[in-house]
Amino acid sequence: MQQQQVSEQTPLLLVALTILIDFTGFGLVLPLLPFWAEQAGANAFNIGLLLTIYALAQFLFTPVLGSLSDRYGRRPIIVISLIIEAISLAMTALASNLPLLYVARFIGGLGASNIGTAQAVVADVTSQERRARGMGLVGAAIGAGFVIGPALGGLLAPLGITIPFWIAMGLALSNALLVTFFLPETRALPTEPSHFAMHTGPGLLIAGWRTAHRYPAILRLVVINLLYMLAFTAMEAVFALFGQHYFGWGAAQIGYVFTYVGIIIVIMQGGLVGQLARRLGEQRLLLCGLVLLGAGLFILSFSTFAATVLLALGILSIGDGAVTPMISTLLSFISPENAQGETLGLAQGVGSLGRVVGPLVAGMLYTLTKPGTPFLVGGMLSIVAFLLAIPALPIARSQGTIHVEEVREHSPVHSGKLE
């Protein structure tokens, strides 16, 4: 048992470190990108389009990279994606006009489409009892990267606006070397390609959807992830305007508030989520997380005092810290073993779509209605996700065992129907 834990721990910690470095680089350049784009002639719409293009590439390619990792292994796909990220960052630093900047950011979104593959590494090396802790560790690494990256970018910016892009490129290349030499391959490649690994060409773009169509529980969880992402990113998009409107907060105060949110999420995912999953079970913890997320958004929509705002953000941050790893954990439980990367990639890709649509809808609601309306709508989306999650996984922990086969044996794929 101790040897098994050691074999799980090494790749788990290495993939968490990889994700931390990756998102530190992303967070390092994100706050500076609008200023660099302005020098290339961008206006507010162009800057928003840069973010949209990046997220669109993730929506398209995260399921593709996940599917390729099922076929060729996790390590080569992660390494290639990191090299693509490095190329994108160099192109961004060298871009002298908007078209080149658009191309660079689209390529960057392709390179950043490796999160589903990284989560598949966790699914490969962890037992079902330890899966939630592993997914939480990846989530904590993402949150820590978003805390460290912007702070580092702020320190480096006075040296020159393109310096952080080159530093981020160096981090991506260093990360690729780290994965190449130290991360063991965790995917046991089959001697013959399976049905799920036979997608080629355009079929790769819809591979994840084919699997989700055959497994209704997977499809429900993917939709839940989309609703959750719409709700949370809508809050992120307009909170600065909300804080300025009611409290006169500037960039520094908003930065402190988001740091507060990030720290709570990191603590939740990095240490508490595994223990809570063992006590409550993964599905109950997902339901609790969605309730807390919705409650926090509802409270925030009616908050006119700073203390109430902080309370609401604390509640929704705890919910967020539970929802993200639980969706990934439950997806890994019910996905076919030879389609883990594909399924987790699909969920992350659809989440990227939520990051595109959520801010746009939130901005429209904020402009046309009251400042708290985007939070109110986000709370409603959380409730819809909660209702979908109740039957999302028609299996439960029974004496410490998760009976996944009860879901699979009724699948048309499991029964040999490959239509």
For residue 7, the domain's CATH number is 1.20.1250.20
Regions of the chain with pLDDT less than 70: 1-8, 44, 189-213, 251-252, 392-419
- HSE-up (13 A, CA, CB side) for residue 11: 21
Element (H, E) at 262: helix 251-267
Identify which of 131, 139, 135, 122 has the alpha carbon closest to the alpha carbon of residue 265: 139
Q: Are 67 and 335 in contact (CB under 8 A)?
A: no
Asked if residue 117 and residue 218 are part of one domain, the reply reads no
Asked if residue 215 and residue 72 are part of one domain, the reply reads no
pLDDT of residue 409: 41
List, for residues 93-115, the tens digit of each pLDDT value: 998 888 999 999 999 999 988 88
Neighbours of 291 (CB within 10 A): 17
Does residue 258 fall inside a structural domain?
A: yes
pLDDT of residue 251: 63
Q: Is 359 helix (H, G, I), strand (E, B) or coil?
A: helix
Does residue 13 fall inside a structural domain?
A: yes
Asked if residue 304 and residue 173 are part of one domain, the reply reads no
Residue that terminates a domain, selected from 186, 217, 247: 186
List, for residues 279-294, the tens digit of each pLDDT value: 888 888 999 999 999 9
Q: Are 49 and 102 in contact (CB under 8 A)?
A: yes
To which residue do tokens 């909660």 refer? Answer: 386
To which residue do tokens 């790749």 refer? Answer: 11
Residue 174's identity, in one-letter code, is S
Identify which of 42, 131, 56 has the alpha carbon closest to the alpha carbon of residue 349: 56
Q: Are 322 and 102 in contact (CB under 8 A)?
A: no
Asked if residue 372 and residue 305 are part of one domain, the reply reads yes
Q: Phi/psi of residue 407, each to 5°?
A: -80, -45
Asked if residue 214 and residue 180 are part of one domain, the reply reads no
Does residue 160 fall inside a structural domain?
A: yes
Neighbours of 182 (CB within 10 A): 13
User: pTM of the full predicted structure?
Assistant: 0.75
Residue that terminates a domain, selected from 154, 186, 218: 186
Asked if residue 219 and residue 130 are part of one domain, the reply reads no
Does residue 333 fall inside a structural domain?
A: yes
Asked if residue 238 and residue 376 are part of one domain, the reply reads yes
Neighbours of 288 (CB within 10 A): 18
Does residue 198 fall inside a structural domain?
A: no
401 forms beta bridges with: 398
Measured torsion, CA atoms of residues 272, 349, 297, 372, in degrees rounded to the nearest 10: 150
Asked if residue 329 and residue 218 are part of one domain, the reply reads yes
Does residue 277 fall inside a structural domain?
A: yes
Asked if residue 166 and residue 220 are part of one domain, the reply reads no
Asked if residue 336 and residue 253 are part of one domain, the reply reads yes
Q: Phi/psi of residue 96, each to 5°?
A: -110, -5
Neighbours of 192 (CB within 10 A): 6
> What token pair was written down for 301?
């929509």
To which residue do tokens 């019910």 refer? Answer: 334
Identify which of 333, 339, 303, 299 has the alpha carbon closest to the alpha carbon of residue 319: 299
CA distance 419 to 412: 8
Asked if residue 163 and residue 243 are part of one domain, the reply reads no
> What token pair was written down for 40?
């290339």
Does residue 28 fall inside a structural domain?
A: yes
Domain count for the chain: 2
DSSP class per residue in 207-225: HHHHHHHH-HHHHHHHHHH
Does residue 192 fall inside a structural domain?
A: no
Q: For residue 364, what are the contacts with CB-CB under 8 A and spacing of at least 6?
A: none
Q: Are 340 and 219 in contact (CB under 8 A)?
A: no
Asked if residue 58 and residue 22 are part of one domain, the reply reads yes
Phi/psi region, residue 139 (left: phi>0; alpha: psi -120 to 50; beta: rest), is alpha
Domain membership of residue 65 as a residue range: 1-186
Residue 23's identity, in one-letter code, is F
Residue that terminates a domain, selected from 171, 186, 201: 186
